[in-house]
Structure formats: C-alpha cells, structure tokens
C-alpha cells in the first residue's frame, strides 16, 4: 500500500522564487488495485513519484509504503517497491540479461533463483530473444522492456511505473497492460502515471487527477464522468484538469480523499 499525505515539493531556482512542482497531493493506492496518476505535462506526477520512491525529499507532507515512512525508513521503502523511473537508461555495453541481473544482484538475489526470474519475466513481456543482445542500439520499446524487467526482478509488493507506455507500440502496450493486470491479480499495489485518459481508464481501479501540483479529482472512471458532467472521459479529463484555479471547491464526492484537502491546498496557493 502506498500513501501520500499532503505531499509538496518546492524546487529552488536561481534568482527566482521557488518552483512549486507539487503543491499538495494526497492519495492512497491500495493492494490489489491499480491506481492511475493522471495529469497534463508538468502537473507534478514524476515529482510525486520520486518523493514516494525516496529519491527526493518532500518539502512538506508525508508518504508511506506498507506503513514505512519514506523519510525515516528510506531503505525499507526502496526494498518494498519496484520503480520504473522517469529516467530509464541502460548500460549499453551489457546485454539485456546482464542489465537485469545487475539489479537483481544489487537486491541480493543470486544464482538459479535470479536466472529463473529473468527467464520468467522475459517470457512475460515477450523479450526472451532480446536477452543476450547488448542493449546498444535497442529500440525505445526494447529498452523499455529491459527497464521494466529490472524494476520487477525482486518481485516487489508495490510497483510504481512513471509513464510506462511512453513510446510503445500497440502490441507492446497491450502486453504491458496484461502484465499490470497480472500484478493486480497477484495482490500487488500498482501506481502508474500517464497523461492519456483512455490508457488510465482502461486499467485503473482508482484515478487521481493531478493538475498544477494538486489533486483535482479522484475516483473511478464512472465517478469522474459524473462529477465533470461530461460525456466522454477525455472531455472529463480536460475539464477537470482545467479546474485547478478553483480546485478547492471542485465538486468531488464527499467520500473522496481529494475533498479533504481544501484548507491546506488553499495555503499552498497563496505562496
């Protein structure tokens, strides 16, 4: 389970006021569910996920993974998650297998267990024939597959995927969706970010719409349609993410966590 509570992040920028990348984000991603972080470019999705995966320290708020605090217990959090980060560079002089093996060994998995897992993951995301090629010259989709495999090599209970379908063709996107569904069936907690409504709605049990660093709406696809009063999800998304200026009063359902944010969200805006 991944919880974000009033997370905020201000970046120092030389000669300018701080850049507020994330103003106030709260959500809970439950086990056995796929939670989508949906938002336009620059909404603060990557920054939020980086805070949750302990790479950057929040300016305010708190985060927990399986109950462990992202600040106080960073090592335990890292051990409990598998992350496909925004940056997904590979070592081009190593083969795909060696790239994945490296991450496995860094997490203490070795020998036959490790080799078996590599084979299993490769079969799952259809990259078996790529395994023993050096990753130099891999296509974007092939690189993505390796990055996904190495992020999941330790079979993490919590999975964070930052725009996993970026640059993937239809076939690969499909097999990725299959993989995400499989992870859900296994009872894992999956969070993934995207700026494409259709993609999120096709997969997610819970959608968190982020705009300008704030959660502007949260719920399943049906709920989002209702509160926006629009016919299509795309319309709903455009409508909701444009709502940011009066986000605190946005008509989210009373049970939605987003509705509890209003007071702090207001403060964030004033700075």
Ligand X SMILES: Nc1ncnc2c1ncn2[C@@H]1O[C@H](COP(=O)(O)OP(=O)(O)OP(=O)(O)O)[C@@H](O)[C@H]1O
Q: How far apart are CA 140 and CA 253, in angstroms?
A: 40
State how far the alpha carbon of 121 is from the alpha carbons of 97, 117, 151, 154, 182, in Å: 11, 6, 11, 11, 12
Q: Are 71 and 57 in contact (CB under 8 A)?
A: yes
Q: Are 55 and 84 in contact (CB under 8 A)?
A: no
CB of 102 to ligand X, least distance (A): 26
Taking CB within 5 to 8 Å according to partner kind, which of Mg ion, another protein, ligand X, none is near residue 88?
Answer: another protein
Q: How far apart are CA 187 and CA 271, in angstroms?
A: 40
Q: Which residues contact 185 (CB under 8 A, 6 or more apart)?
A: none
CB of 173 to ligand X, least distance (A): 17
Q: Please select the residue that binds another protein; options are 93, 246, 263, 270, rule is CB under 8 A.
A: 93
CB of 87 to Mg ion, least distance (A): 10
Site string for another protein, 134-173 (x = CB under 8 A): -------------x--xx----------------------
Q: Please select the residue that binds ligand X; options are 2, 4, 7, 21, rule is CB under 6 A.
A: 21
Binding of Mg ion at residue 47 (CB under 5 A)?
Answer: no
Binding of another protein at residue 69 (CB under 8 A)?
Answer: no
Taking CB within 5 to 8 Å according to partner kind, which of Mg ion, ligand X, another protein, none is near residue 43?
Answer: ligand X
Residue among 36 and 82 whose Cβ is closer to another protein: 82
Q: How far apart are CA 59 and CA 19, in angstroms?
A: 12
- Beta strand pairing call for 68-69 and 189-194: unpaired
CB of 41 to Mg ion, least distance (A): 8
Q: Which helix (H) or strand (E) holds 206?
A: strand 206-211
Calculate helix-pair angle for 96-106, 111-124, nearest 10 degrees.
130
CB of 144 to ligand X, least distance (A): 15
From the list 39, 79, 91, 18, the residue with the least C-alpha distance to 210 is 39
Residue among 19 and 181 whose Cβ is closer to ligand X: 19
Residue among 56 and 238 whose Cβ is closer to another protein: 56
In this structure, the dihedral spanned by the alpha carbons of residues 170, 173, 179 and 185, taken in order and rounded to 10 degrees, is: -90
Residue among 93 and 246 whose Cβ is closer to another protein: 93
Q: Please select the residue that binds Mg ion; options are 26, 46, 53, 228, rule is CB under 5 A.
A: 46
- Residues in 26-85 at the binding interface with ligand X, rule: CB under 6 A: 39, 41-47
Binding of another protein at residue 108 (CB under 8 A)?
Answer: yes
Tell me the window of 22-30, 40-48, 127-135, 245-253 that interacts with Mg ion (CB under 5 A): 40-48
Strand ranges across the sheet with 206-211: 68-69, 60-65, 2-11, 19-29, 214-219, 206-211, 33-38, 189-194, 158-162, 81-84
Residue numbers at the binding site for ligand X (CB under 6 A): 11, 13, 19, 21, 39, 41-47, 195
């Amino acid at each position: 389970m991944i919880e974000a509570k009033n997370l905020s992040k201000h970046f120092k920028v030389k000669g300018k006021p701080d850049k507020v990348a994330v103003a106030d984000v709260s959500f809970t991603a439950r086990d056995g569910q796929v939670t989508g972080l949906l938002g336009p470019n620059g909404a603060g999705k990557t920054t939020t996920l980086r805070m949750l995966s302990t790479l950057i320290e929040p300016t305010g708020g708190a985060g927990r993974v399986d109950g462990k605090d992202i600040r106080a217990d960073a090592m335990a959090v890292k051990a409990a998650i598998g992350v496909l980060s925004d940056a997904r560079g590979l070592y081009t002089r190593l083969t795909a297998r060696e790239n994945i093996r490296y991450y496995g060994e860094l997490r203490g998995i070795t020998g036959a267990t490790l080799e078996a897992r590599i084979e299993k993951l490769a079969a799952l995301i259809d990259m078996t024939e790529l395994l023993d090629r050096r990753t130099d010259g891999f296509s974007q989709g092939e690189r993505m597959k390796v990055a996904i495999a190495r992020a999941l090599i330790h079979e993490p209970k919590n999975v964070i995927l930052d725009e996993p379908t970026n640059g993937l063709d239809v076939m690969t996107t499909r097999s990725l969706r299959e993989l995400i569904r499989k992870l859900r069936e296994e009872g894992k907690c999956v969070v993934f970010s995207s700026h494409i409504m259709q993609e999120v709605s096709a997969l997610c049990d819970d959608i968190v719409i982020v705009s300008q660093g704030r959660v502007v709406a949260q719920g399943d696809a049906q709920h989002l349609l209702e509160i926006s009063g629009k016919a299509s999800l795309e319309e709903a998304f455009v409508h909701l993410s444009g709502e940011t200026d009066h986000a605190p009063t946005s008509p989210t359902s009373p049970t939605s966590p987003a509705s509890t944010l209003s007071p702090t969200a207001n403060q964030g805006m004033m700075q």
